[in-house]
Every structure is written in structure tokens, then in C-alpha cells.
Amino acid sequence: MTDKVNLQDKLALFSDHWRPRIVGELNGHQVKLAKLKGEFVWHRHEHEDEMFLVLKGTLVIRMRDRAVTLQPGEMYIVPRDTEHQPVADDEVHVLLVEPAGTLNTGDVRDALTVDRPSTI
């Protein structure tokens, strides 16, 4: 049995940046919430498309040939195997959908790598 998820209630449970929390699972995918601030590491997910839906703030997703700027209520799907760097000048809250087990830093091992994101 699953429960409904209130995104704001879940976001109130943590304050650290770049550490996604799992809030739901469907068909081998996970729905995650994260708070972002600053520049993340450049990385790619070889086999996984990754959906970003911004809930708060302004998120820039830099790619090698372009950049996308997302405001609240805007989403972008980073195609698999596309190098990208999320950048948040001010704090951003984001909902992510991606295959279960997708590593936040993709092909890069970094101090920011979260091997086992927790479920909240």
C-alpha cells in the first residue's frame, strides 16, 4: 500500500543540497526530490534519460552545446548520454524522475556522489 506524497511536506524534511531523496517508485523508476545550490559536477548518465521539474527557484542545466533555464512549473528531460551540469545560483527545489539506481553524478565519482539515496 502506498501513500500520497505532499511535495512541500517532504521538502521540509531535509535541507542539504545535491542529495536527492526518493519519494516514489513506479515501473522501475524513482521519483526524487532534491534541493540544489551552486554548481554540480559535469556528468552523464549513459543509459538513462532524466526528468527535471523545477518546483522553486531558477535552474540552469548546462550542456556542452546549449543550456536550458527552468523556472518553477517548467520541466526538461536530459537525454541519456548527454553531458550536463545543473547550476543553481540560488536554492532550487526540483522533482526528478529517472530509472531506479541512477547515480546522481552519473559516470563521475565525486564528493557529491550519493550511492544510496534514502527514501523519505
Q: Kindly state the cell numbers that stand for 60.
A: 540552469
Q: Give the C-alpha separation, 18 to 105, whole Å.
A: 10
Q: Residue type at 117? A: P
Among residues 38, 39, 64, 77, which is the contact residue for a second copy, using CB under 8 A?
77
Q: Mark 19-58 with x for binding to a second copy (rule: CB under 8 A) and - for no binding.
A: ----xxxxx-x-x----------------xxxx-x-x---
Q: Which residues contact 5 (CB under 8 A, 6 or more apart)?
A: 23, 24, 31
Q: Check residue 90 and give left, alpha or beta (phi > 0: left; psi -120 to 50: alpha).
A: beta
- Nearer CB in complex with a second copy: 54/105: 54
Positions in 80-109 near a second copy (CB under 8 A): 80, 95, 97-99
Task: Give the shortest CB-91-to-a second copy separation in angstroms.
Answer: 17
Contact predicate 54/71, CB 8 Å = yes
Q: Residue type at 82? A: T
Is residue 62 close enough to count as binding a second copy by CB under 8 A? Answer: no
Task: Give the shortest CB-15-to-a second copy separation in angstroms.
Answer: 19
In the complex, the residues that contact a second copy under the rule CB under 8 A are 2-8, 23-27, 29, 31, 48-51, 53, 55, 68-71, 73-77, 79-80, 95, 97-99
